[in-house]
Amino acid sequence: LYLLFQGLRQISQRTISTASRRQFENRVPEKQKLFQEDNGIPVHLKGGLMDALLYRVTMGLSVFGTAYVVYELLVASMPKKQK
């Protein structure tokens, strides 16, 4: 039981110590420069192609959802004919 506990402690110490050694490059200044640049592009599209794609998908879903809600309200407002 002691050897099992000792082995688990070594594994946990090893994973914690190796994870803290990894350093990530700080890319905040370059992102700030990109988003603060005055180039006439709206801020929600400055991220590039993925931002434009996400914007168009969101707008498409919004328009479709609004049209579907209006359709369902029209269907619900008309009474069914009795046979």
- pLDDT score of 75: 94
25-54 mean pLDDT: 92
Query: Domain spans of the chain?
Result: 41-78
Buried-exposed string 21-36: b where 16+ CB fall within 10 A, e elsewhere: eeeeeeeeeeeeeeee
Structure tokens at 43: 């801020």
> How would residue 18 be classed by pLDDT, with cut points 50, 70 and 90?
low
CATH number of 41-78: 4.10.91.10
* One-letter amino acid for residue 54 of the chain: L
Q: Is residue 44 pLDDT above 80, yes or no?
A: yes
pLDDT of 49 reads 94
Q: Which tens digit of pLDDT belongs to each residue from 48-70?
A: 999 999 999 999 999 999 999 99
Give the angle subtended at the CA of 61 by the CAs of 60 and 64, to the nearest 5°.
Answer: 85
